[in-house]
Chain A
Amino acid sequence: MIDFVSLCEHTMLVGAALFTLGMFGFMVRRNLIVMFLCVEMMLQGVSLTWVGAGAYHNQWDGQVMVILIIAVAACEAGLGLALVMMLYQRQGSLDIVAWQRTREEGRPAFVDHDIPEPVAADDISWPVLTPAGVAPEINQEERLHRSHV
């Protein structure tokens, strides 16, 4: 028989670690989408802690809270990703620093100092596919009817 209380405590430790990692990522990363993922990770850590605490006290409330958290996370993801899309369309970049002109008046602008040089491994080379087989016959009538395809 496993020591259930210890299991709850260790699970809560994992939850705390997830929350902390999410916070760290939110502070350190600059990609809007990754920052958003980090917030989701913080929520996940809280959920794990709720389940652990609920099992610890032998109550259902923890799991009920997790269900509510999942619903709120779904709302947040929908709204947040719509916002991210809009920000990307305005700025053409997912970099959070691109939005620094919304900063407080009088604050100095942030300037990147040590931009890493592109390394050879970063040049993505797409595979070249050799054409094979017979080219399919194109139905002209269908093309006329479905010009938007």
Chain B
Amino acid sequence: MTGHLLWGALDGSLWRQRVTALFSAGMDQPFVWSVLGTMLLIIGLWALQPGARRGGRIWGILACFAGLACCVRLLVPLTGPLPVVLTFRLTAALTLMAAVTTVVTKNPVYSAIWFALTLIGTSILMLLLGGQFVAVATVAVYAGAIVVTFLFVLMLAQSSGRAPYDRLTWGRIPAWWGAPAAALLFVMLCSGMYQESAARRQVDLRPDGTHDPAMYTSSGGTISAPGTVAERFPPHHVAKLGGTLFTRYLIPVQVVATLLLAALVGAVAIASYGPTVGGREQPL
């Protein structure tokens, strides 16, 4: 199977095969898409990083989304009723757009607000996959508490005006290798998913556009049967989530509870001042 993509690109003999394939009639489509996607992502992220030329941001975002579209080509295309597909695509685009803006915007306050939008998009995506409780918890805990804490700290610690360090990256390694590292990591993750979905790509689709669950198994051995959210997650499924959480995962829950307590004590110890003796602050 020709689905090893970048891992294969590191292998010399495979590389030679692919170069010959590029110039022959049968072009290795996934390889071409992944290389094109990597290039576009590198260019886009380079144009987006803080020290870059002014005015390059729109081109950077366009290049990033073009690279992402190339990587999406590696997966089995999303089929289904148009409203659902459209909802997914719009939400994904909104989430990624907000995420890009979080990273590249110069004002940290706007950064935090865009991050809140990213969280809302993420929770909508979780809702589409049937994760009702986690979607609500994400909005409540992340967007409701953590982002607000971020804004509080920004209010307390923000320097007046815009700081020059928000418009710069530092050193040669982040400036030159940040974008290629990120692009390669993303395409590598995509190629991992490609290998998973390549098995499904071989399988003929049923006439109604769905896959026959008996025709394929994923690598974990668990058959992932297609179906609607309602079929896969029957009513009262939040109760089932709670059941799993407090039976099979009881010990992790206890550990996390202890961790929360420890973090509370630690945060108080870090943030509060001890008694001052002779003008010097004493440890607590």
Contact of B260 among A63, A74, A114 (CB under 8 A): A74
Contact yes or no, B168 A112, CB < 8 A: yes
Q: Which B residues are closer than 8 A to A by beta carbons?
A: 45, 49-51, 68, 71-72, 75-81, 84-85, 88, 92, 95-96, 99-100, 102-104, 108, 111-112, 115, 118-119, 122, 125-126, 128-131, 133-134, 137-138, 141-142, 145-146, 149-150, 153-154, 156-159, 161-171, 174-175, 178-179, 181-183, 185-186, 189-190, 193, 196-197, 200, 208-211, 218, 220, 222, 224-229, 232, 240-241, 244-245, 248-249, 252-253, 256, 259-260, 262-264, 266-267, 270-271
Contact yes or no, B50 A122, CB < 8 A: no
Q: Which A residues are closer than 8 A to B by beta carbons?
A: 1-14, 16-25, 27-31, 33-34, 36-38, 40-41, 44, 47-48, 51-52, 54-61, 63-64, 66-68, 70-79, 81-86, 88, 92-97, 110, 112, 114-116, 118, 122-124
Contact yes or no, B259 A41, CB < 8 A: no
Cα separation A57 to B137 with both chains bound (whole Å): 22
Contact yes or no, B79 A16, CB < 8 A: no
Contacts of B125 in A (CB 8 A): 11, 14, 48, 51
Given A37-B102, A63-B134, answer yes or no on A1-B141 (Cβ-Cβ < 8 Å). no
Contact yes or no, A40 B129, CB < 8 A: no
Closest residue of chain A to B133, judged by CB? A63
Contact yes or no, B108 A31, CB < 8 A: yes
Given A67-B134, A86-B270, answer yes or no on A4-B161 (Cβ-Cβ < 8 Å). no
Interface residues of chain B: helix, strand, loop or mixed (majority): helix
For the complex formed, measure the closest distance between the CB of A44 and the CB atoms of chain B, giving whole angstroms: 6
Contact yes or no, B138 A3, CB < 8 A: no
Contacts of B129 in A (CB 8 A): 7-8, 11, 51-52, 55
Contacts of A4 in B (CB 8 A): 224, 226-229, 232
Cα separation A21 to B115 with both chains bound (whole Å): 12
Contacts of B149 in A (CB 8 A): 77-78, 81
